Structure 1
Amino acid sequence: MATTETRSDAQIEDVIAGVDAGHRMASHEPTEETQENGRRILRGDISADDAVSEAIARHQAAAHRS
């Protein structure tokens, strides 16, 4: 289920920056795709479960093309 809390664009970008920093400290570089998924989740456009399902579907489709 998507969130009902409203966040400003600035608040969303602050959260994304914090998540990016955490990933970099763990030696993982964030991708534009993961950042955009985070923005979609924080805006309430999509749930985290739906974002994971989309990623799994993309990876499965790519594996079938290989």
Structure 2
Amino acid sequence: MTVWDSEPRLPIAQAADPGRAGQHGLEIVMAVCRSLEMHREPVGKRITAAVVLADDPVGDEAGRQVG
């Protein structure tokens, strides 16, 4: 999955804080994806995440490679 927006600032994962309301999106994406790439574009940024499907034969449910 790839998303793009016009904001040039790259997102930064914050330290876990169960008391924080909101702003957990990047933490969730990082927890469930196999890979995450962030690139600045001439205008904005592009973020690409590879998410593992439940029936993926080469990864576990959390998206990690199974060796």
Fold similarity call, TM over 0.5: no
- RCO (CA 8 Å, sep 6+): is it higher in 1 or 2? 1
Classify the TM-score, shorter chain: 0.3 to 0.5
When the two structures are superposed, what TM-score results if normalisation uses the length of structure 1? 0.32
When the two structures are superposed, what TM-score results if normalisation uses the length of structure 2? 0.32
